[in-house]
Amino acid sequence: MTDDADSLAARERRREPRRATDRGFDPAARLADREQRDLRRDLQPVDRVAARTRVAPDPRGAVPDDGEQQLLFAANDYLGLASDERVAQAAAEKAHTTGSGSGASRLLTGDTDAHRALERDIANAKKTERALVFSSGYATNVGVLTALEPDVVFSDELNHASIVDGCRLSGAETVVYDHADADALAKAMDRQVDRETDEESWLVVTDSVFSMDGDIAPLEGICEEAERYGAWVMVDEAHATGLYENGEGIVGHEELTDRVHVQMGTLSKALASQGGYVAGSEKLIEYLLNAARSFVFSTGLAPPAVGAARESLRITREDDTCRTQLWRNVKRLREGLAGSGFEVWGKTQILPVVVGDRTDAETLSDRLREHGIVAPAIRPPTVPEGTSRLRVAPMATHTEDEIRHCLDAFEAAGRTTGIL
């Protein structure tokens, strides 16, 4: 066949109708698979973020109904500042004076005086040279880990998903060590040295307070092991920021600021706003604002969120009233739950009531709803098999009567379900 004939045959084949091939996706089948494995979740709208709120069934794409009023023992608004008038006023003022949105990346025109003021406040609270605010805590962890590009990351096995994803995206070799175990970290680092062929950059990363177990990382021991090999330490303070003196987290509380190279946290939990931050040296922050893609290519945090976070941070630094009330509520709830016979883990404001069986945990949660208490069941794969639990999180704004009602509801539901 000549070249002209080959070309003609090729053109003819292109004109022939092709048999349709399905290269798309089947979300219905995927959803059914999740349903079969009891992994499907839904959204349940609340009418306000507060200790007492109306919770509506998932309306899918429709308008939620009013729902029933419930006591919320599941939010991360630990200090109850999301419904504080001072915080709402600060957010409104920033919307009026600066704008409802930043309008652009911080590196373009989205960098405002409000952002800089919040970052100075965070750096002062964390006792670091400088801080940088991201659009979310998730974006912060992913951005920092990928920008640092460590050769090896040593990561606690129960670190938050944002850390796990940041490790994956960084391309680093990730060594997972046993949960909250500095000795396990030491052994992992010793093994790494034995197989190391070239000089490597090492980063140890851990949550300070673990969101599902409510326990605290042994930060001093972790710092000691990291220092043996000149590794950097990064600590995620998402569930600790603002809950200790001067608005600090565990790092400041344990006087480890000079030994932790990267302090990360969120503005969306105790600080009742939105966004994340990283605090550290001047050079670190200057590098990250140039290299962290989740910062460079995201619109700057909305000014109302900046204003709310700054006011919340001010409150936690200048007034310990809400913090004192939170820890009082935590103590009463922990002692009451344990006294009723429940297994309560942790030592922080997060109270995991461990049931074990996933069905039992879901049933207990459902019975609590009948008593007006929202405390959702947490089940695998979020937590390991055999450790399904209710993650109970009181707020500073829960009253003594509401704490008592919660305890009574747990005892009644526990007996009804046979868990007690």
Catalytic residue among 94, 126, 269, 398: 269
What CA–CA distance (Å, rounded) separates 306 from 374?
A: 29
Q: How far is CA 245 from CA 251, 309, 321, 322, 418, in A?
A: 11, 17, 11, 12, 41
Cis peptide, bond prior to residue 381, ω within 30 of zero: yes
Q: What are the structure tokens assigned to 68, written together?
A: 């029933």
Beta bridge partners of 53: 70
Residue matched to tokens 């204003």: 307
Whether 211 sits among the annotated catalytic residues: the reply is yes
Quickly list DSSP for 30-94: HHHHHHHTT-------BSSSSSEEEEPPP-TTS-----EEEEE---S-TT-GGG-HHHHHHHHHH
Choice among 155, 170, 211, 388 that is catalytic: 211
Helix axes 219-228, 182-195, angle to 10 degrees: 20
Task: Name the β-bridge partners of 206.
Answer: 235
The CA distance from 87 to 313, in Å, is: 10
Q: Check if 187 is active-site.
A: no
Catalytic residue of the set 115, 239, 261, 398: 239
Integer CA distances (angstroms), 329 to 79, 112, 326, 408, 413, in order: 11, 38, 5, 15, 21
Q: Is 94 a catalytic residue?
A: no
DSSP single-letter state for residue 256: -
Angle at 376 between CA 374 and CA 381, to 5 degrees: 170
Phi/psi at 343 (5° precision): -90, 115
Catalytic positions: 211, 239, 269
